[in-house]
Amino acid sequence: MAFPFSLAAAVVWSGSDRLVKLAPSDLLIIGIYFVMVLGIGIYLRRYASTSNDFFMAGREMSAWVAGLSFLSANLGAIELMGWAASTYQYGILAAHFYWIAAFPSMIFLGLVMMPFYYISKTHSVPGYLQLRYNEATRALSGISFAVMTILMSGINMYAMALVMKVVLGWNIHFSIWVSSLTVAVYVALGGLYSAIFNEVLQFFLIWLGALIIPILGLIEVGGWSGLQAKIFERMHSSEYVHLWSTLGSFSSNPMGVNWAGVVFGLGGAIAFGYWTTDFLVVQRAMAAKDLRSAQLAPIIASYFKMVVPLIVILPGLLGLAVLPYHLVPESAMQPGLHSYNEVLPLMLARYCGPGMLGLGITALIAGFMSGMAGNVSAFATVWTYDIYQPYIRKGMSDQHYVRIGRWCTILGVVLSIGTAYFVTHFKSIMDYMQALLGFFIAPLFGAVIMGMMWKRATPKGGFCGLLVGTVSSVVMYTAVKIHPAWVRYVALSPDAKDMAENVYRALWSLLISMFVIFAVSLFTEPKPKAQLTGLVWSYTTFPAAEAMPVWKKPIFWGAGVAIFFVVLQWMFW
Amino acid sequence: MRERHHMLPVWFFIGMLLTIYGVIILITSIVDYSQPSSAVLSQYHPGIWGGILLLVIGGFYTLKFRPR
């Protein structure tokens, strides 16, 4: 999508009310990026001819490619801009979402759960639920995932368009249509191959484009100690730079949460739910060429996840220290003020000259597009395999399902665009959507983990647990919305804030889901052993480990990231 | 990674893009050397360092994974 500069300028600039002004070299860099991702999609089309190619990238990705793609699919709009904004608001506590909310669950996925996904040769997480439980459980999970994925994709798209409007003065419709049609074309052409290739490309761009902020920022403030001193000077509080020491009670930190909520709710229910059962990310690891690569993919990703705070959390902290004005919440926005959500582009504009600014903006666009590509490719797979194939047109040719996958990609993007416009009219929906996504994640993890670990879990138990867990989460959420004081029952404290409510609600819905599966299973008929081989721990024979040096084994690298994690917690205690 | 059917590896595409970006950023930064932008710490010329870094990484991947 390379426009001549003058045409690009005429089309995309909707006025002079913008944070940064791009030079011709910046526009050239952005234009080349669009040409490259489309070119990759066109090139890969010839390789995506079967359903295994289109939906699973032929299951031949190396551990590194699958791992970087696994991480990039998670580096979307909300991830990049949102957590930089949250850091400005809450301080380094936001890093918990990269550390405790990532490392244990990603290692667990690699070492414990991936063998089941891989050995069962399922195409999706709902597909695993069908094999382990029954069709009803798959339908419930598949439909809720498809709906949520489209909504999240649209919200990501809207968030991107909003940033482009505020930062660059670009027309919001232009941003939505150009970026989404680009994603539609390259994913529809090359399927998961294309999504994964571009996600790995985007991984490099995100890092190289955003790394200038922490490097120059730390030089400006005089290193970590200088940063701490400047934040204390401006905020008159040291709680913004401590990870654990302020979590003794709900009222002693800006996030309004305590350590138990962070460990069990965030690090347990939410993180395990997201990283081990959200098909958006799990699909990337399933595309690996063998079991060892599939196990290594999330472990490799976990190392990079641990250092993503360098380009997301640190810019938020630097914003607290060096920006000459205070940012405000979106709800308090007035002309002349800047919101928390603008902290990352503001920091880019602060340090980047011509050329580097183009690379930084391209990094943001790449992040938005990789998040969206992840959503639509996962949507196309789940829709085709878990809804269309079993319930609409059974027994059609492989070519037919590939064609449906391509059309589903287009359909997913069109629906996402519709969602994006829907959100522009009902902005509060964005707040609710985060909670809505959380409704499904924790109970889904309950159903999957009980199915993998407990041979007695029955189809009726799995379905009821998933349903009741989800409904209980919705009920808790609604109750607190109607009676805000009831947060004391959900989050165990009247001082609890939104984040605490989210993490405790996820924890309760997980426990409720697991309890219901346990209770219903005791009174219903389990599946025979023959149908559970390869799906349940005690009925699965894992392939004998190949003879290899210890440093090539997934568990070695899992132990390494555990040490890395402990060191980080100690450094920023 | 080198997939079946002689598929070009993803690393080659990454190398090409980073090399092109390195050239653009380096040329822009050299042209603007005597007129640093208004960005904070522009006296360190981050564009030149960034351009060189992109060229090195991009060149490495392009050469190592080029079609043979």
Q: Is residue A444 part of a domain?
A: yes
Rounded to whole angstroms, how far apart are CA atoms A458 and A522? Answer: 8
SS3 state of residue B68: coil
- A314 pLDDT band, cuts 50/70/90, is very high
Q: Per-residue pLDDT averaged across A19-27, rounded?
A: 84
Confidence label for A15 from pLDDT (cuts 50, 70 and 90): very low
Alpha helices for A339-397 (secondary structure H): 343-351, 356-382
**Residue A42, domain CATH:** 1.20.1730.10
- B10-23 mean pLDDT: 94
DSSP letter for each residue of A264-282: IIIIIIIHHHHHHH-HHHH
Model pTM?
0.85
Work out the minimum CA distance from A36 to partner chain B, whole angstroms. Answer: 8
Check CB contact under 8 Å for A359 and B3: no
User: What residues are paired with A328 via a beta bridge?
Assistant: A339
- The answer to whether A64 contacts B1, with C-beta atoms less than 8 Å apart, is yes
**Do residues A493 and A261 touch, judged by C-beta distance below 8 A?**
no
Distance (Å, whole) CA A85 – CA A448? 33
8-state DSSP, A308: G
pLDDT grade, residue A17 (50/70/90)? low
Residues of chain A positioned with their CB less than 8 A from the CB of B54: 208, 359
Dihedral, CA of residue A508, residue A509, residue A511 and residue A517, to nearest 10: 160
| Yes or no, beta carbons of A47 and B7 under 8 Å apart | yes
Mean pLDDT of the A30-35 span: 93
CA-closest candidate to residue A256, choices A502, A573, A500, A506? A500
Compute how many other C-beta atoms are within 10 angstroms of the C-beta atom of residue A21.
Answer: 13
ipTM associated with this complex: 0.93
Least confident of A176-190, A219-233, A364-378: A364-378
Assigned token pair, A132: 């382990």
Whether residue A3 is contained in a domain is answered as no
Establish, for the pair of chains A and B, how many residue pairs have beta carbons separated by less than 8 Å.
103
Task: Answer whether B1 sits within 8 Å of A65, measured CB to CB.
Answer: yes
Please judge whether A25 and B8 are an interchain contact, meaning their C-beta atoms are less than 8 angstroms apart: no
Q: Are the beta carbons of A64 and B42 separated by less than 8 Å?
A: no
Structure confidence at residue A152 (pLDDT): 82
Q: For A97-106, how does the pLDDT look when each residue is reduced to its tens digit (9 = 90+)?
A: 899 988 889 9
Look at B14 and A204 and tell me if their CB atoms are within 8 Å: yes
Q: Which residues pair with A13 in a beta bridge?
A: A170
Q: What is the DSSP letter of A392?
A: I
Judge contact between A27 and A10, C-beta under 8 A.
Answer: no
Tell the residue number behind the tokens 């340090």, with chain if given.
A351
Mean pLDDT of A465-492: 91
Contacts of B53 in chain A (CB under 8 A): 208
Chain B residues with beta carbon closer than 8 angstroms to that of A199: none
CA of A350, closest CA in chain B: separation in Å? 5
Tell me what pLDDT residue A5 has.
Answer: 33
Which residues of B fall within a CB distance of 8 Å from A208? 18, 50, 53-54, 57
Please provide the average confidence, as pLDDT, over all residues in chain A.
85
Has residue A16 got a pLDDT over 50? no
Q: Which of B21, B27, B65 to mutate to test the interface with A (most CBs of A within 10 A)?
A: B21
Does a structural domain hold residue A552?
no
Q: Which residues pair with A61 in a beta bridge?
A: A288
Highest mean pLDDT among A544-548, B27-31, B55-59 belongs to B55-59
Q: How many residues comprise chain B?
A: 68
Which chain B positions have a beta carbon within 8 Å of A47's beta carbon? Answer: 3, 5, 7
Per DSSP, the three-state class of A491 is coil
Cα gap A147→A419, rounded to integer Å: 11
- Taking residues A373-392, report their average pLDDT: 87
Q: What percent of chain A has pLDDT over 70?
A: 94
Predicted pLDDT at A462: 94
| d(CA A256, nearest CA chain B) in Å | 35
Calculate mean pLDDT across residues A315-341. Answer: 83
Over residues B28-54, the mean pLDDT reads 87
Cβ contact (<8 Å) for A354 and B4?
Answer: no
Q: Do A216 and B40 touch (CB under 8 A)?
A: yes
Residues of A in Cβ contact (< 8 Å) with B1: 61-62, 64-65
Chain B residues whose beta carbon lies within 8 Å of the beta carbon of residue A355: 24-25, 28-29, 47, 50-51
Lowest pLDDT segment from A191-200, A425-434, A558-567: A425-434
**A58, B41: Cβ pair inside 8 Å?**
no
The reply to whether A466 falls in a domain is yes
With an 8 Å Cβ cutoff, are B20 and A32 in contact? Answer: yes
Residue of chain B with shortest Cα separation from A216: B41
pLDDT of the residue at A333: 72
Given this model, what pLDDT does residue A124 score?
83
CB contact under 8 A, B47 and A33: no
How open is the CA angle A246-A252-A256, to the nearest 5 degrees? 100
Contact A28 B14 (CB under 8 A): no
Backbone phi and psi for residue B7, each to the nearest 5 degrees, phi listed first: -65, 135
Say if residue A355's pLDDT is above 50.
Answer: yes
Q: So what's the pLDDT on residue A434?
A: 60
The answer as to whether A348 is a domain residue is yes
pLDDT digits (tens, 9 = 90+) for A48-85: 888 888 888 888 888 999 998 888 888 776 678 888 88
Q: How far apart are CA A155 and CA A337, in angstroms?
A: 23
pLDDT at A6 over 60: no
Measure CB to CB from residue B10 to each of A201, A353, A354 and give the nearest one.
A201
Read off the amino acid at residue A264.
Answer: F
Cα separation values, A177 from A1, A146, A359, A414, Å: 12, 21, 21, 10
Domain containing residue A167 = 27-111+119-330+339-538
Share of chain B above pLDDT 90, in %: 54
Q: Is the pLDDT of residue A347 over 80?
A: yes
Q: Within its chain, how far is the Cα of A115 from the centroid?
A: 22
Nearest CA in chain B to A201: B14
pLDDT at B14: 93
Angstroms from B59 CA to nearest CA on chain A: 14
Contact A89, A339 (CB under 8 A): no
The token pair that represents B16 in the structure block:
């090409």
Specify the pLDDT at position A8. 36
Nearest to A212 among B4, B27, B50 (CB): B50
> Around Cβ A481, how many Cβ atoms within 10 Å?
11
Angle at A451 between CA A376 and CA A386, to 5 degrees: 30
What per-residue confidence (pLDDT) applies to B42? 83
Kindly report the nearest CA distance between residue A167 and chain B, in angstroms.
16
Residue of A200, A205, A351 with shortest CB distance to B46: A351
| Cα gap B42→A375, rounded to integer Å | 38
Q: Are A556 and A304 in contact (CB under 8 A)?
A: no
Q: Which of A43, A216, A358 sits opposite B41 (nearest CB)?
A: A216
A205 belongs to a structural domain:
yes
- Distance of alpha carbon A159 from alpha carbon A451, whole angstroms: 37
Contacts of B59 in chain A (CB under 8 A): none
Identify which has the larger pLDDT, A203 or A424. A203
Q: Which of A40, A45, A56, A359 best tests the B interface by mutation, with the highest count of B CBs <10 A?
A: A359
Contact A155, A430 (CB under 8 A): yes
Residues 6+ positions from A357 with CB-CB distance below 8 Å: A20, A22, A23, A26, A348, A349
Partners of A339 in the β-ladder: A328
For residue A95, give both structure tokens.
């890093």
Q: Torsions phi, psi of A309, nearest 5?
A: -55, -25
Identify which of A25, A204, A353 has the shortest CB distance to residue B39: A353
Domain tally, chain A: 1
The label of the residue with tokens 């903006």 reads A361
pLDDT score at B4: 54
Q: How confident is the model at residue B5 (pLDDT cuts 50, 70, 90)?
A: low
pLDDT tens track for A487-542: 899 888 888 888 888 889 999 999 999 999 999 999 999 999 888 888 888 887 77
What does the alpha-carbon distance between residue A375 and residue A195 come to, in Å, rounded to a whole number?
Answer: 10
* Model confidence pLDDT, tens digit, residues A102-120: 888 999 998 888 888 888 8
Averaged pLDDT for residues A14-28 = 74
Distances, alpha carbon A340 to alpha carbons A19, A94, A212, A292, A319, in Å: 14, 13, 20, 42, 10
CA distance to partner chain B, nearest, from residue A460 (Å): 42
Q: What is the pLDDT of residue A70?
A: 86
* Nearest of A355, A319, A357 to residue A339 by alpha carbon: A319
Pair A375, A150: CB distance under 8 Å: yes
